Amino acid sequence: YAESTLRDTQAKDDAKALVGYGLAKYYNKRKDYAAAAEAGVLASDARRRSAGELDREALQARVDRMIETYTIDFFAEHRRLGLGTDQPVFIVGLPRSGTTLTEQILSAHPDLHGAGELPDLGRLAASLVTDEESALFQAAQRLAEQGDVASRELAKRYLKSLREGATKGRTRISDKSPLNFFQLALAALMFPNARVIHCTRHPRDNALSVWMENFNPDQQWSTDFDDLAFYRRQYLRLMQHWREALPLEILEMPYETTVADLEGQAKRMMDFLRVPWDARCLSFHKSERAVQTPSRWQVRQPIYTRSVERWRAYEPYLPTLVSAFEDDGDA
């Protein structure tokens, strides 16, 4: 039935996408990479027809404006805004870059809590601007114009959501909405003492994992490897700027290093979060906490390295996966 739906010219694109993504995972698990790639192509083509393509010009313009607006001087001028708490930890990166694994390790520590993917930072950003999508980059600018009282009120609203479900007295609480990298200027104005953990992964492994996932249709960049490469370049450009301009401390967490040296990376993370080492972080997969992301089944297992260099199995079947990332130094 699934195969016939995928090839049925009368079937709706949404149905084809749903079935195709499922089949791609099924064949991948059976190591039938040719069939998985074929199902993935049909699924992503169907999703692309219904969701549309990435507007590259708009994305690049948005990142340009953010880099121009949120300078070192901007943050120096507004350093008195927000709340002094250092409780929030923002785990950011591309989807499927190890953000869920990172939060599971963190939340296994008795002094820390993982709140999961919260929509609140994006919602607060949208509440500050009128024309939601095109003006989202202006959210921090608007908050700066509103001043001290508004910034503290907004920060309190965010903290209320962040602390829901956390045991009282947790030193730090993480929000692992990966695309919050777009809103780190707003986060810095609200919480100048917050910390950021930036998860990275090999570009082709990351792209393949995103491309095979049935993501929200809003993520139009996820259905095509050339778009994925473009999106990734813009995100890296923005993260490089944040490292130079933001007053927030940022820890880099490469996925490949984490799975190769769990204890070393977990200790680095605990040092960064200023909490004493606790060996329970190594047993993160025994945690009972709910995980609502595509990685939920993976973080219930001990650490494994089989997702590293996974793209090579698909190299013969997905030529654009290789060509799209040829300009990336780490490809």
The full set of domain ranges for the chain reads 54-309
Assigned token pair, 10: 């009368």
Q: Does the structure show a pLDDT above 70 at 19?
A: yes
Of 308, 306, 305, 265, the residue nearest 104 (C-alpha) = 265
The three-point CA angle 135-235-55 to 5° equals: 55
pLDDT of residue 244: 98
- Give the pLDDT score at 38: 95
Residue type for position 3: E
23 CB burial (10 A radius; 0-12, 13-18, 19+): buried
Pick the CATH number of 54-309 from 3.65.10.10, 3.40.50.2300, 3.30.230.70, 3.40.50.300: 3.40.50.300
Give me the sheet containing 112-114, strands edge to edge: 112-114, 172-175, 88-92, 195-200, 249-254
Q: Which of 95, 320, 57 is nearest to 218 (CA)?
A: 95
In this prediction, what percent of the chain has a pLDDT beyond 90? 79
CA neighbours closer than 13 Å in the CB half-sphere of residue 308: 11
In this predicted structure, what is the pLDDT of residue 297? 47
Tokens standing for residue 301: 């297992």
Whole-angstrom Cα distance, residue 158 to residue 155? Answer: 5
Six token digits for residue 76: 């120096």
In this prediction, residue 331 carries a pLDDT of 42
Q: What is the pLDDT of residue 133?
A: 61
Mean pLDDT of 180-207: 98
Cβ contact 13:33 at 8 Å: no
The whole model's pTM is what? Answer: 0.92
Residue 160 main-chain phi, psi, to 5 deg: -60, -45
Whole-number Å distance between alpha carbons of 235 and 240: 9
Structure confidence at residue 169 as a pLDDT band (50, 70, 90) = confident
For the stretch 232-278, pLDDT in tens is 999 999 999 999 999 999 999 999 999 999 999 999 999 999 999 99
pLDDT for 98-140, tens place per residue? 999 999 999 999 999 999 999 999 999 999 987 656 577 899 9
